Structures are given as structure tokens and as C-alpha cells.
Amino acid sequence: MPNTMLELTALNKTFYSSDYTTHVLDHIHLTIETGEFITLIGPSGCGKSTLLKIIAGLDVDYTGEVQLGGEKVNAPSQEKGFIFQEHRLFPWLTVEQNIAAELSLKDASIKQKVDELISLVKLSGFEKSYPKQLSGGMSQRVAIARALLRNPKVLLLDEPFGALDAFTRNHMQEALLDIWRSNRTTMVLVTHDIDESLFLSNRVIVLDTKPGRIKASIPIDLPYPRKRSGKAFQELRAKLIALLEHETVDKQDWQI
């Protein structure tokens, strides 16, 4: 019963400046099903973050169309939860106030949902802490809880764990998988980390650079939880590296 959640049609994006123009995204077509976990991977400068901002409605300077659940996207909204590379919490609010943000914790139903999310992201006991007292990984989990409180149709994550150390990053990836498996929220995650994309997603979208276009769409059928050291994982990893590094990979392998 897969149905379409996100549909990108003929997306083009060009940056203009006084002395040069950069064609960032070139004719992007992409369909994402409800409940899928997609990762967008590609070299830096391939426009993957720009693509995510367009989906979020944060960037509206493009041609083509983005549809979410059959409706055209033209502005940011709570339906499209966005996790930035940095946690972007309000420093003057406590953890629970940050998750509630513009909503009032005095409302019992909101307070209850916030408490549930705090235990989902394993931050119980830190409700009253301020962002300055949290580690990078904890802050990012607060940001995820803040997005989830709004029941987003899709959660867009822009290199959310890029700034974390390797140990915390693995931990966060597992936490994100837990959330995905319990909520089944459609996820689109931008990364430049091959292991991360193989560990998390159902499907890896490989982007090419200059101009950014979709090079390959690779379904990952490995069962969860995945073992990073497993043979199948390593084989996929090698192929993905080859695809990212060399232009001359037999594209037949990848069922484009």
C-alpha cells in the first residue's frame, strides 16, 4: 500500500551572481513513498542541502514543483519538520520549553506529549536544563523532539549528525532509527557519510555535482538493525564509494 508522500518534478535551481551563474540543481525528478527513509548523498557542493531547503519551503527561488501529500509546497510549515546541522535551540528556553516552543506547557495535553517525546529521545531528567548545559547530541535530540511534536508528514534532516563525534553519531543514528520504526514518519536525510546512509535508509539517492542531478537511486534491502561490519553492508559500501568517486561505474548495476 505504498502511496506517494513527496513528489519533486523538474526541479531546477540556479544561483546568479554578478560574474558567474551556477547551475545547482538540474532537472530533479524524485518520488518518495510514505514511510520511506531516504538519504541524499553526494560530494559537497552538489546541492543536496539546497534540495532539502526547497522541499522544506525555506528556499522558493527555483523552477519546477514540489508536492507534499498532493499539495504544492510554497512555504515552510510544521508538516515538514526540519532538523538543521546545528541544533538551533532557543538558548533562553529549557529543554521542555524548546520542544513546546510557541505552544504552552500549561496545556495538559501538550505537556503530556512533550513528556512522551522527552522519554522517546531519552532525555528524561533534563526537562528543565538549558541548551548550554547539554552536549551536541542531546541538543540535536531536543531539536528532533521539537519537530516530532508537530506531527510532521516528513522529517527533513540536513546533515544532522555532521558536527558530532563518531561515537555520539552512531548512537544518534540508532536513536533516529528507533524513532522511525516506532513513528513511521517519512524521513529525508542529507549526508556525506556513506556508512550513515547505508545504516539508516531504505533508499540512497546519489547526487552528482555541477550541475547537481540524480546519478543513482539505490534501494537498500538489508534488514534492520544493520551490522556495519556485515558482508552485504561492506559490499554495498564499496559500490557506493566507487559510484561517488569514479564516474565510470557500470550504471546497469544500479537499476536507475
Give yes or no for residue 224 binding other proteins (CB under 8 A). no
- Pick out residues in 168-197 that bind other proteins (CB under 8 A): none
135 makes contact with other proteins (CB under 8 A): no
Interface with other proteins (CB under 8 A), residue from 72, 106, 132, 231: 132
Residue closer to other proteins, measured from CB, 27 or 150: 150
Q: How far is the CB of 229 from other proteins (least distance, A)?
A: 37
**Three-point CA angle 148, 54, 47, nearest 5°:** 110
Burial class (CB in 10 A: 0-12, 13-18, 19+), 225: exposed
Q: Min. distance of Cβ 101 from other proteins in angstroms?
A: 5
Query: Between residues 157 and 236, which has the closer beta carbon with respect to other proteins?
Result: 157
d(CA 243, CA 161): 23
Partners of residue 189 on adjacent β-strands: 39, 157
Q: Where are the beta strands (DSSP E) in the chain?
A: 4-16, 21-33, 37-41, 63-68, 71-72, 80-83, 154-158, 186-191, 203-208, 213-219
By CB under 8 A, is residue 88 in contact with other proteins?
Answer: yes
Q: How far is the CB of 141 from other proteins (least distance, A)?
A: 16
> Is 106 a binder of other proteins (CB under 8 A)?
no
Window of 20-28, 80-88, 108-116, 177-185 that interacts with other proteins by CB under 8 A: 80-88
Contact call for residue 136 and other proteins (CB under 8 A): no
Residues 24 and 15: beta-carbon distance below 8 Å: yes
Q: Which stretch binds other proteins (CB under 8 A): 4-12, 24-32, 144-152, 186-194?
A: 144-152
Query: Which residues in 10-69 contact other proteins (CB under 8 A)?
Result: 56, 58
Cα gap 174→226, rounded to integer Å: 10
CA distances from 135 to 64, 123, 130, 131, 172 (A): 40, 11, 11, 8, 12
How far is residue 143's CA from residue 66's CA, in Å, rounded to a whole number? 25
Task: Count the residues of the shown chain that bind other proteins, applying the rule CB under 8 A.
Answer: 24
Q: Please, which residue, 54 or 236, has the CB nearer to other proteins?
A: 54
Alpha-carbon distance of 14 to 50, in angstroms, equals 11
Could you list the residues that contact other proteins (CB under 8 A)?
A: 56, 58, 75-78, 80-82, 84, 86, 88, 90-93, 101-102, 130-132, 146-147, 150
